[in-house]
Structure 1
Amino acid sequence: MTEIALTLRRVARSGKSLDRVWISVGAILLAIGIFVPHQLGPSIGFTIDQLLSVAPFLMASVVIAAWAGATGADSLIARAFTGQPVAMVLMASAFGALSPFCSCGVIPLIAALLSMGVPLAPVMAFWLASPVIDPGMFALTAGTIGMDFAIGKTVAAIGIGLMGGFATLWLSRMGFLSDPLRDGVGNGGCGGAKMRTPKPPVWAFWRESDRVTKFRRDGVKTALFLGKWLALAFLLESLMLIYVPAEAVSAAVGGDGILPILIATFVGVPAYLNGYAALPLVGGLIGQGMQPGAGMAFLVAGGVSSLPAAIAVFALIKKPVFALYLVYALIGSFVAGLVFQLVI
């Protein structure tokens, strides 16, 4: 543990930037080594075992994300925002749930869509559905906590998108929600460029060296991103299973009725770390007594309206639209948890 502390000090003194997730992992390991040294070995072993167990799904997620970027398949999302408003809402909800957009591209993409005059209703549908699930998230959800959760999250994403999209469409036709962007917003960024000049996908990407390079670069980047978050999540889960009493979890979000689902919906917003990190944590909570519906509500609510995402949304749109966004997220997540509990 002395070597870990010295390494952290050298990094801090040299001024080098270190990823905050890895800093957190190192800090947690250091704290375990100092205060409960007997737990250090079991926690590291648990983390490694869990990472190995989800490795096939992790690789599937990495390949899907890299393939989407190399082929340009993500440009197909442009088709969801052309045509009649009702059709646009339907398409936007489906594409939002299935699109492989990275988290850095969603917010600028929304700014680009709205600044280009795309109606708020389909944009809201896409906005609500997109953070909940994507192909890579589907694979990891299935491998981490089960195929039923993966399918449930997909259905919930589409359902929330449809609810928010059609409610917004009705409000817009009533004369509300005009000019949703804050003043000065509308650049569009990297996501906006794909919308303004969509190009057909190149399915045989391996024939072009630039696309092969992009596939490799995106694959490594995605693997490192997912790996660090999963490592942090499994490390936290190892501690949670030991030090969080199962009785406390069961009392808060276990048992029958709608109260645990309601609690999980509201707790999911501030407690959500990352969509990938949340998966093993929810799996551990379910093992300690959380009912499946509460787990689904937590995952969906955190994905749509986690604090980092909410802050970015707040900086982009006007307050009434932001408030509506939060209402959609909370109601949709709660309903998703209730329906999932009834079905499961």
Structure 2
Amino acid sequence: METLERVLSKWADYLLYDLLGISLESSFGVTVHYFLVTFTVLILLVILVTYLMGTIVSYLPMEKVKNYLEKHKHSGFGNIAASILGAVTPFCSCSSIPLFVGMMQARMPLGIALSFLITSPLVNEIAIALFWATYGWKVTLVYVVSGIVLGVLGGIILEKLGMEHHIAVWLKNLGKPVGESQTRNKTFGERLPKIHADASQTIRKLAPYVFFGIVIGALVHGYVPESFFEEYISKSNPLAVPLAVVLSIPLYIDAVGILPVLESLVGKGVPLGTGMAFMMGSIGLSLPEAMLLKKVMQKRLIIAFFATIATGMILSGWLFNLLF
């Protein structure tokens, strides 16, 4: 994904700065450059992941998977497995949503799918390597464990709150199983029309929200200076950690892209835990993600999702400030 971003970044540089003469230093140039690169990467990921998950779901023995997960739901095993899967997949918050849709299509319990959705953007192997190099193994270990625990507990809590009734109606009806006996012996070619139909429906539902979400993120990225955040999450502010989470929501930056911002904030005196809360909020609770979630969740579930995860991020920030 990083290679693709570099290629697209060079293409955007050429288009904006060489052909159109837009200044690299201008807020407008930064905004449009960010939108072109981020939107292209995300829409390609959405398409790829949606078709991939549609293929996997087509071959899964859905009733067996559902029954197994239901059987182990109360032990938290499924939530732990989903969070670990999220930690080893290099997806951002928006590109994780097609996988969430696929899990719902496969009839997995909502809490388990949410555990994946929470952890996936927060922890990935590239961010871990950079984090280790910058802050050492102790800080990295606490961060990784915090991200996985947040995913496990968040999924369990939202499941216990009975939020499974508040996913979008179209998602409840997407790709209803037609019976394993009817599909078990089908070839891939015979399965493809159904896979394409379900994937196309999902992409049509999500694409406008990817577009408008990235427009918002690009405007914030280009026009809101970093000093704006430093002013409100300084060491002297007793509410700095909750504010850091709230102020980070309009942003959309992945776990790798936010690390230089975190380093800059910490270098200017912002406590590590406060900066960490800002980092977690910007990659796990962004406005673009909220717009996408609006298409796959009803309002009550979105509010509960954001409130639960924001609370966990605030507690994690306070924990980091106590330990480091």
Amino acid at match of 2:158: T
The number of aligned residues is 232
CA contact 2:70–2:109 (8 Å) conserved in 1: no
Q: How many Å separate the matches in 2 of 1:22 and 1:308?
A: 24
CA drift at 1:108: 1.7
Cα deviation, residue 250, structure 1: 5.7
RMSD: 3.9
Percentage identity across paired residues of the two chains: 19
Per-residue CA deviation, residues 201-260 of structure 1 (Å, 9 max, x unaligned), is xxxxxxxxxxxxxxxxxxxxxxxxxxxxxxxxxxx9xxx9xx977xx7665222256411
1:285 and 2:265 are equivalent in the alignment: yes
Q: Contact 1:249/1:290 (CA < 8 Å) preserved in 2? A: no
Please state how far the C-alpha of 1:152 moved relative to its aligned partner.
3.0
Aligned AA for 1:129? T
- 1:284-336 Cα deviation digits (max 9, x unpaired): 11111111111110111112111222222221112111111111221111111
Aligned to 1:127: 117
Q: State the AA in 2 paired with 1:162.
A: V
Q: Which amino acid aligns with 1:136?
A: I
> Which deviates the most, 277-286 or 156-165?
156-165
* Alignment-mate amino acid for residue 165 of structure 1: G
Change (3 A) 1:166 1:33: closer
Match for residue 84 of structure 1 among 72, 76, 79: 72
CA distance in 2, matches of 1:251, 1:277: 21
Distance 1:24 1:294, change over 3 A: farther
2:161 is equivalent to residue 171 of structure 1 = yes
Q: Kindly tell me: are residues 167 and 126 of structure 1, through their superposed partners in 2, closer, same or farther at Cα, counting changes over 3 Å?
A: same
3-state secondary structure, aligned to 1:162: helix
Q: Equivalences for 1:264-279 in 2 at 5 Å?
A: 264-279=244-259
- 5+ long unaligned stretches in structure 1: 1-17, 36-68, 189-195, 198-235
Residue 312 (structure 2) aligns with = 332
Equivalent in 86, 90, 99 of residue 88 of structure 2: 99
Aligned to 1:315: 295
Following superposition, the deviation at residue 142 of structure 1 comes to 2.0
Aligned pair 1:110/2:100, yes or no?
yes
Are the structure 2 counterparts of residues 25 and 160 from structure 1 closer, same or farther at C-alpha, using a change threshold of 3 Å?
farther
Length-normalised TM-score, structure 2: 0.59
- Counterpart position of 2:170: 184
**Alpha-carbon distance change, 255 to 105 in structure 1, aligned in 2, over 3 angstroms:** closer
Change (3 A) 1:169 1:273: closer
Note the C-alpha offset of 1:183.
2.5
Tell me which amino acid in the other structure corresponds to 1:181.
I
TM-score (norm 1): 0.56
1:53-68 equivalent positions in 2, closer than 5 A: none
Which residue is equivalent to 2:276?
Answer: 296
- Aligned equivalent of 1:23: 12
- The secondary structure found in structure 1 opposite 2:98 is helix
Say yes or no: does 1:142 pair with 2:132. Answer: yes
Q: Contact between 1:132 and 1:300, CA under 8 Å: does it hold in 2? A: yes
1:25 to 1:284, Cα distance in 2 relative to 1, 3 A:
farther
